[in-house]
Amino acid sequence: MRIGVIGTGNMGALLVDALVKSKAVKPRFISVMNRTKKKALDLAKKHHRLSVYESPVDILRHADIVFLCVKPGQFYSLLQSLRGAWHPGQIAISITSPVSVSQLEQLIPCQVARVIPSIVNQGLSGSTLVTFGTSMTDIQKSKLWAILSQFSHPIEIDEENVRVASDLSSCGPAFISFLLRKMIDGAVNTTSLSKKQATQLTTEMVEGLGKLFAEQIYTLEELQKKVTVKGGVTGVGLDILEQGYNEDFEKLFSATQQKFAEDRQAVNAAFNQEEV
């Protein structure tokens, strides 16, 4: 399969890295373009024989699967510029949640899907969230699933839950990193432990924790019970966390849902022009 990537910002570059690292696709079968060409050229330096093109239309001429890795506000104008350039056998894939699959089908005359990656895919782990368009055949679904399975665990997600699922799988690493940084700062600010040592201990703990979950040795609840001894230090610490928690994650998900609604409203305004 020849892969095209339009937009090589953080997520577009992440996808290329994951595809190459997992050996799902060889660099010579990947073509990329970016409005700031230097980003695409930098990626080509990293992955020898990867092709860089000047325009989105060039990408469509050289790809069977095209990943659209642009910001939500850029989607409508991009798809308008590509009208007439698609061919029926292609698969167009958006990686942004505010643009629905039905909106993609509105302007793309071939099979479409949405795939939301995560930064952890660079380590050939974590999930990718998949929503298929109505015209996707079982054969094409299987082909896409097989590619994604090389560097992730694909999970099919419906339109209604795409935002919260993305918060967990894609935004989650940033949220957890924030909490871990706060834990490190707390240790350093209240003891003589150096930040370097605190950071090493914390990152190695997280690495080991991930392996336990990967091997399905414990569930989250089981692990907490295993580490917590009645009347012990862990229990005291958990009591403090329970007191300070105060429904913070409910507030977090409410805020991300609100931002998602605003983004989707802006996207809808652009796509609604098509219906007028």
**Would you say 146 and 200 are in contact if contact means Cβ atoms under 8 Å apart?**
no
Any known ligand binding at 34? no
Pair 34, 113 in one domain: yes
Beta-strand ranges (E) seen in 35-135 are: 51-52, 65-68, 91-94, 111-116, 127-132
Any known ligand binding at 161? no
Q: Per-residue pLDDT tens for 218-227?
A: 999 999 999 9
Any known ligand binding at 7? yes
Is 71 a domain residue? yes
Any known ligand binding at 1? no
Is 12 a domain residue? yes
Pair 90, 152 in one domain: yes
CATH of the domain at 128: 3.40.50.720
Task: Give the pLDDT band of residue 276 (cuts 50, 70, 90).
Answer: very low
Please give the tally of structural domains in the chain: 2
CATH of the domain at 200: 1.10.3730.10
Domain with 149, as residue range(s), is 3-157
Pair 207, 236 in one domain: yes
Q: Per-residue pLDDT tens for 46-82?
A: 999 999 999 999 999 999 999 999 999 999 999 999 9
Mean pLDDT of 140-146: 96
Pair 144, 180 in one domain: no
| Residue carrying structure tokens 């240790």 | 187
Any known ligand binding at 9? yes
Pair 90, 174 in one domain: no
Mean pLDDT of 227-255: 90
Q: Which pLDDT score, from 0 to 100, does residue 275 have?
A: 58
Pair 217, 124 in one domain: no
Any known ligand binding at 65? no
Distance CA 224, CA 200 (A): 22
* 32 strand-pairing partners: 5, 52
Pair 150, 175 in one domain: no
